Amino acid sequence: MRASYFLEVDRGTMPVKQANLRDSSIYKKLVIYYDAWRRKRHTELFGFRNFRVLFVTGRRERTDNMLVVSKRIAGGDGSRLSLFGEKDVVLDGNILGSPWTDGRGERLRLID
């Protein structure tokens, strides 16, 4: 089975949430990715049927803040579209087998 991913490596310089969507933020990125997925722009532009977005952060606190805003997307239920992990965990040499947290707070691995 083929899987497609977008990778976002967070340096901690962009705010997680802004007062409005005109300004850059992680929340704005999440909304844009979700909207692109909902409109099937990935199929139209790249030809693949589905995708996920991997957010790699520097620390657990930042990941937790991203999870809070992610849960506001998709009717407050969160989104399984985005996966979050800290660089010292997911970039340990086995990015596919490392634990990730989806937008609903559930832990998973890309492959077992």
| Three-state SS letters, the chain | CCCCEEEEECCCCCCCCCCCCCCCCHHHHHHHHHHHHHCCHHHHHHCCCCCEEEEEECCHHHHHHHHHHHCCCCCCCCCCCEEEEEHHHHCCCCCCCCEEEECCCCEEECCC
Domain count, the chain: 1
Average pLDDT over residues 84-112: 84
pLDDT at 43 over 90: yes
What's the mean pLDDT in 19-40? 90
Q: How would residue 80 be classed by pLDDT, with cut points 50, 70 and 90? A: confident
**Global pTM exceeds 0.85:** yes
Q: Find the domain containing 88 and state its range.
A: 5-109
